[in-house]
Amino acid sequence: MTTQAASQPMILGELRLRRSRLKSLWRIAQQKPVGAVAALVCIALILVAVFADVLAPYDAARQGVPRLQAPSASYPLGTDNLFRDIFSRILIGSRISLGVGFGSVLLGTIFGTTLGLVSGYFGGWVDMVVSRVIDVVLGFPPLVFAIFFLSIFNTDRGFSLKAFTLVSLAIGIIITPTTARIVRASVLSIRNLQYIEAAISIGGSSPRIMARHVLPNVVAPIIIIASIQIGNAILAEAALSFLSLGIADASHPSWGAMLQDTRGVWEQAWWTAIVPGAAISIAVLSFNLFGDALRDVLDPRLRSTS
């Protein structure tokens, strides 16, 4: 009896809290209608990637439909030169495109945050070493770096967890410098505040202070830069797959690889050239617009850093 009575107001309180959160979300959506639409498209894309095999009308890998059919009711986006349904392949392909996109941003954010945190917090020679390491990474043209990296480490290409990790790592390293610089600048701006000094004076260890006191206060810029980088990562993945350096193979399509597969027939079947590129552009545009809106909402001061 008592537990029930006690939990009732708690549930009510939680409901009220949830409703007020929804309300503030709605208010933000009204202020940033473009960003809100972009966020919905992003969520839809993620759902499509998750449920791709349920949604796809045909087996994306199997060759069993008429060749090079223009878009129609039975093949909404047409068919390709290897007897496959393009709509199904676009749905399944979202897995690699978004998967590598998120994977590489996750890795890049972890590296960049660690480097930025350490160099901003310790300063001095640590900062100098980290900055020089970043300068070296920036000395490579990004895509050329990724190609070089994959040519050395991903020698047996194809669809595997190892290949996924390596491609994500290649793109992750490319985006690390930007994250590291932004995190470093944010850490520097709070490094000498009193609560950090207090934490040091009561004898907190450096890793503990960085994790418990510094990191939580630089989370906003990290989220913003990560969301902006997802679009770039998807673009980079598409370029690598297009160059046959990604993780796509015959039964695991990706949007970039689909363009490569149909290169010879673009002129006779325009949809094979337009559809995968449109998928890439829509995904990248939605994540870019979403990241932009998120930045304006969370931290208007960062507006000039794009």
At 252, phi and psi to the nearest 5? -125, 85
186 vs 241, which CB is nearer to another protein?
241
- Minimum distance, C-beta of residue 194 to another protein, in the bound complex (Å): 28
Provide CB contacts within 8 A for 263, sequence distance 6+: none
Got the DSSP string for 211-236? IIIIGGGGHHHHHHHHHHHHHHHHHH
Q: Which listed residue (3, 30, 132, 264) binds another protein by CB under 8 A?
A: 132
10 vs 144, which CB is nearer to another protein?
144
Instruction: Select the span of 13-21, 77-85, 212-220, 239-247 touching another protein (CB under 8 A).
Output: 239-247
Provide CB contacts within 8 A for 228, sequence distance 6+: 288, 291, 292, 295, 306
Contact criterion met (CB below 8 Å) for 230 and 101 = yes
Instruction: Select the span of 55-63, 143-151, 180-188, 200-208 touching another protein (CB under 8 A).
Output: 143-151
Looking up tokens 């040519």 gives 151
Question: Segment 247-286, which members bind another protein (CB under 8 A)?
Answer: 259, 263, 266-267, 270, 273-274, 276-278, 280-281, 284-285
The size of the interface with another protein (CB under 8 A), counted in residues, is 48
1 vs 161, which CB is nearer to another protein?
161
Largest CA distance in the chain: 75
- Minimum distance, C-beta of residue 114 to another protein, in the bound complex (Å): 19
Using rule CB under 8 A, residue 31 touches another protein = no
The DSSP secondary-structure symbol of 268 reads T
Contact criterion met (CB below 8 Å) for 246 and 171 = no
Question: Segment 146-165, which members bind another protein (CB under 8 A)?
Answer: 147-153, 155
**Alpha-carbon span 29 to 38, nearest angstrom:** 10
Residues forming the site for another protein (CB under 8 A): 34, 132, 135-136, 138-145, 147-153, 155, 231, 235, 238-239, 242-245, 259, 263, 266-267, 270, 273-274, 276-278, 280-281, 284-285, 288-289, 292, 303-304, 306
